[in-house]
Amino acid sequence: MKRLVGAFLGVAIVIGPFTGTGSAQAPDPKLVAAGKRLFSVKDCTQCHMAEGKGNKKLRMDGPAAKVAKLAPEEIRQWIVSPVEMTAKLPHKPENPMKKKVLTEAEVDSLVAYMMFLRTKK
């Protein structure tokens, strides 16, 4: 599990399933591959789009995607507590995200995949 261990000038330092200790580090390629597979297997593409596959309304890849502005811990919270995260939104979505049954390792891999996607165009 990743833990926030400090912040300096607005940059979070996170320890977790990424290579290195900073949130700016590239995610572990094995976790990214596992997350990509889970994204498909868990039907995330019904509501989200990644790498040209899925629902175009909620694109997950590229620096302009909304997920690209989230810290890894915020992405994790969306995955494990979507109802609570939706409650924080000023405008509620028509189809709120539903919670999936996932292991901690699966959540780690999905977070790694989301972090990887922000680098895609």
Residue 4 lies in a domain: no
Residue 71 lies in a domain: yes
Predicted TM-score of the model (pTM): 0.77
Residue 4 token pair: 């926030």
Residue 14 lies in a domain: no
Residue whose token pair is 């949130």: 23
Helices (H) and strands (E) in the chain, counts: 4, 4
Q: In whole angstroms, give the CA distance from residue 111 to residue 117.
A: 10
User: Which CATH number fits the domain that encloses residue 91?
Assistant: 1.10.760.10
Report the sign of the C-alpha dihedral through residues 92, 65, 73, 77, in that order.
positive
What are the pLDDT tens digits along the chain (121 aa)? 444 433 333 334 343 444 333 445 778 999 999 999 999 999 999 999 999 999 998 999 999 998 899 999 999 999 999 999 999 999 998 889 999 999 999 999 999 999 999 988 7
